[in-house]
Amino acid sequence: MLQGLVLKSTGKWYDVLVNDGTRLSCQVRGKIRMEGRSTTNPVAAGDWVDVERENELEGNIVRIHPRKNYIIRKSVNLSKEAQIIAANLDQALLVITTTRPQTTPGFIDRFLVTADAYDIPTVLIFHKIDQYDESELAEVNQLLSIYEKMGYQCLRTSLISGEGIEGLEKILEGKITLISGHSATGKSSIINHMIPGIDLKTGEVSEASNKGQHTTTFAEMHPLPNGGYIVDTPGIKGFGLVDIPKDELHHHFIEFFALLPECKYHNCLHLNEPGCAVRKALEQGEIAPSRYNSYVSMYHDEEERSVYRN
């Protein structure tokens, strides 16, 4: 019996790096295919598995080891099934561009809430910083000030000027890092820079929609020269939240949670309750309106719930 790390999922077949150093193309044994899972794929990139070798190139996955976490999104069809994108992550990297394409504050906040709910540290990468004019840079700096004030690690990066790239390399070293964001924000270009010779296809922004075109279909783990892996994922257009009760949602807005003891009611939802410290802080300019708007939007939007789970 071999133990291995799943590097890539391509539907029915999985590329597994087994402990003898070889890379096998594997299928999943039927008996573990379902096991009560409501997902389209029982195995994902980042899973540790047990493999029985069939021959020099192929094998069968016979056991999936317990996961510490995983990222999941709804299937593209209309069913209630979901797709596991990646598992066993040390951190997540959200690549943000404020234009061409635009990453909205609402999207950023949904990502941060889901990551916080399952203890996945997130670094915000404000990318292509060399391409912005003065007003666009002001918008970036405003967002930076909001999230840095809350304690999130943020980087301004540019592959053209080199700004922030050395710091990004240090953040990635020795970690299993999910890299995510909209298509055409520069994820593939960042990976190409970090792993010389990998030559991933990069996306372009559609002139009609000002949105990126997808270039990655399945999540794939790429080893970094200085240790660790980058998990490349399909570009995400949007997502909601999965399995976060509405009355616990505000716990994952870290600046809201810090003020909860000051609210009149211990179960305050920060909506219309009297004596709410969060709404008072909002009125006094201590909480960003964009953050509060994101919270209200998420609270009332049950249909858009997806992404990180334990």
DSSP H or E segment with residue 278: helix 277-283
Q: What percent of the chain has pLDDT over 90?
A: 64
Read off the tokens for 160: 């053209």
What structural domains does the chain harbor? 2-66 (2.40.50.140), 86-232 (3.40.50.300), 246-309 (1.10.40.50)
Other residues' Cβ atoms within 10 Å of the Cβ of residue 25: 14
User: What pLDDT, on a 0 to 100 scale, did the predictor assign at position 147?
Assistant: 97
- Residues 270-286 as b or e (16 or more Cβ within 10 Å = b): beeeeebbbbebbeeee
User: What pLDDT, on a 0 to 100 scale, did the predictor assign at position 100?
Assistant: 84
Q: What is the pLDDT of residues 32-78, one digit of tens each?
A: 655 545 666 788 999 999 999 999 999 999 999 999 998 776 554 54
Per DSSP, 158 falls in state -
Spatial contact of 117 and 72, defined as CB atoms under 8 Å apart: no
Cis? peptide before 101, omega within 30° of 0: yes
DSSP H or E segment with residue 14: strand 14-18
pTM, two decimal places? 0.85
Can you list the pairs that 129-133 forms with residues at least 24 positions away whose Cβ atoms lie under 8 Å? 129/156, 129/157, 129/158, 129/161, 129/163, 129/164, 130/158, 130/160, 130/161, 130/163, 131/100, 131/158, 132/98, 132/99
Q: What is the pLDDT of residues 207-233, one digit of tens each?
A: 443 444 444 457 899 999 999 999 998
Q: Where are the alpha helices (DSSP H) in 182-225?
A: 187-194
CB burial of residue 57 (10 Å; 0-12, 13-18, 19+)? exposed
Please provide the size of the chain in residues: 310
